[in-house]
Structure 1
Amino acid sequence: MDWARRIELCTVVVAAVVVVVGLWYSNVQTRQANDQVRNDRALAKVGQITDRYTAAVGNLGEDKTDVRLGGIYALQRIMQDSRRDQPTIANVLATYLRTHAAKPPAKGQDVPADVHAALTALATRDTTRDRAFLLDLYATKLPNIDLSITATSATELHGVNLSGADLRGAALSSTDLRGADLDGADLRHTELEDAT
C-alpha cells in the first residue's frame, strides 16, 4: 500500500472519529440541556404551587364567605395536584374547621357554606396520600351536615377524631368511619345508612 493511500485512509478514520466524538458530545450537551429544562420546569411548578397555596391560605382569613370558599376550593385543587402537599393542606383545613365550627350554628341556621366546603374537601381527599396525617375534628359542631352526596364514592373519615363533635342530624350515609374516635360525639338522629 502506498503512502498516499495510507494517508487517505488515516484521514477517513480521523474524520469518522471526529464525527463520532462530535455526535457524542452533542448528545451529552443536549441531554444536559434537557435535564436543565426539566429542573427549571419542576422549580417553576413548585413555585406556582407555593404561590397558589399562599394566596389560598390568605383567602381563608377574609371576611367574605365567597372569598373563603375560593380559598378552600383552591386548597382542595392543590391537594389533588400535589401529592406531597396534601398532608399540610389537610391539616390547614382541619384547623380551619376546628376554628370555624367550634360553636354550633345559630338556631335555625345551617352549617356555613365554607365549613361545609372544608369538610367536603377533607372527606373526599385521596387518603392514600395522607402519610402520617390523621384528621382531627375534635369538638367540632356540625349538626345537620350532609356528606352523603358529596363524593362519587364513599366519604373517607376513617380514623378521624370526632370526639365531642356535634353531629346531630348529620347525613353520613356511606361514610367510612372505621377507627374514628366518636367518644362523646352527639350522634342523635344521624343518618348512618351503609356507613362502615
Structure 2
Amino acid sequence: MRSYVKRVLPWIAAAAGTIVFALLIWKGPWWADQGHLEKDLSPGTGAVVTGFRTSVVAVGAGVIACFGLYYTDRNLRHTREKDREQAELTREGQVTERYVAAVKLLASDHLTERLGGIYALERIMHDSPKDQFTVTKVLAAFLRQHPTACADDHTCGVVDEDVMATFVAIARRPRRLDVDFSINLRGLKVCGAEVYGYDETNRADLESVDLDGACLKGADLELANMCSAGLQGANLEGAILDGVDLRMARLQRVNLESAKLAGANLSSADLTDAVGLQVESVLTAYINSHTQFPPAIAEDERIKKRISR
C-alpha cells in the first residue's frame, strides 16, 4: 500500500500544480490586484496582466527546473549507489577467488607455491577486514598440521620456511577486529623467528595467542604485543623480549634463560616456576605487586624494593 501511495503521490502533486498554474495564468492578475484592474482590457490593464502572467511563467519554469534538478540528482545518487554495490559485489567475488586460489596453494607439495599461498592470504587479511578471522584460522590450522624439525625436548633444528612465514603473517595481522578471538598455536616450534615490531603503533601482535609448550628459542620478539598470551612451559631461551607487552601473560614453567627483558612489561604476569629467570633481567623490566615470581626471585631484596616504589 505504501509503495502504491509513493508512486501515485508525485502524479497527484503534478496534476494539482498544473491546475494551480493554469488558474494563476487565467485569473491570477485579478486575484492579485482586483481593486485596481478593470474588467475591460485597456492598454494599461493589458500591460499589468501581461507582466503578471510573464512573472508566473518565469516562476513556474524555475520550479519545474528545480524539480528536474532534484530528480536528476536523486537518479544519479541511485545510480551511484547501484554502481557502488555492484563494485562491492565484484570486489568480494575477486577476494573469494583469491582466497580459494591461496588455500589451494597451501596444499601444494612445492615450497614456493605454499609460500605464495601464505603471502596471498596475508594480503587478503590486510585488504579485507571481514575475512581476517577466517584467514587467521586457516593459517593457524596450517601451522598445527606442519610440525617442524625442532624435537620434543626443544632441541632446535631447521624450521621450515613456510612455517616461519605463516607464524610471522599471523603476528603481523592488523589490529582492527571489534573483539579478540583465540588462536591455538600450542606446541608451535619456530625457534629463531623474527616478528619484532617497529614502534609502539606497529607491533607484532600475539595478544591472547595460546603458545603453551611452544619453542621460541632465540626468537626476536622485540616490542611485540603478547598481553594475556599463554606461554606455559614454552621455551624462550635466549629470546629477545625487549619492550614486549607481557601483561597478564601465563608464564608458568617458561624457560627464560638468557632471555632479554629490557623494558618488557611484566605487570600482573604469572612467572610461577619460571626457569632460568635472573634477578638482573627482571630489574630491567616493568613489574608490579601483582607480578608472580618463583620464590627465589620474589624474596630477593632488590625485587621487593622495586615493587614497593
Same fold flag (TM > 0.5): yes
Q: Deviations over 1:70-117 (max 9, x none)?
A: 11101111111111211111111111111113x435888521111111
Q: Deviations over 1:32-73 (max 9, x none)?
A: 111111111111111111111111111111110101101110
Secondary structure of 1:97's counterpart equals helix
Q: Give the Cα separation in 1 of the matches to 2:178 and 2:189.
A: 24
Q: Is the 8 A contact 1:75 1:89 kept in 2?
A: yes
Aligned positions, number? 193
Go from structure 1 to structure 2 and tell me whether the alpha carbon gap of 1:120 and 1:93 turns closer, same or farther (over 3 Å shift): same
TM-score normalised to structure 2 length: 0.56
Which one of 14, 19, 26 corresponds to residue 60 of structure 2? 14
Aligned to 2:194: 147
Deviation of the 1:21 alpha carbon: 2.0
Identity within the alignment, %: 35
Aligned to 2:232: 183
Secondary structure of 1:59's counterpart equals helix
Which one of 126, 129, 134 corresponds to residue 177 of structure 2? 129
Q: Which has the higher helix share?
A: 1
Q: Is there any run of 5+ residues in structure 1 with no aligned partner, and where?
A: none
Higher relative contact order (CA 8 A, sep 6+): 1
RMSD between superposed Cα atoms in Å: 2.4
Report whether the alignment pairs 1:81 with 2:127. Answer: yes
Deviation of the 1:177 alpha carbon: 2.3
Which one of 143, 168, 171 corresponds to residue 220 of structure 2? 171
Q: Which entry has the higher C-alpha Rg, 1 or 2? A: 2
Q: Is the 8 A contact 1:162 1:182 kept in 2?
A: yes
Q: Is the 8 A contact 1:148 1:174 kept in 2?
A: no
Go from structure 1 to structure 2 and tell me whether the alpha carbon gap of 1:194 and 1:4 turns closer, same or farther (over 3 Å shift): closer
Q: Which is further off, 10-19 or 39-48?
A: 10-19
Q: Is the 8 A contact 2:172 2:204 kept in 1?
A: yes
Q: Deviations over 1:111-160 (max 9, x none)?
A: 11111111111111123337332222012222x232255x4343221211
Q: Give the Cα separation in 2 of the matches to 1:169 and 1:6.
A: 92
Aligned to 2:255: none
TM-score normalised to structure 1 length: 0.85
Q: Is there any run of 5+ residues in structure 2 with no aligned partner, and where?
A: 1-44, 246-309
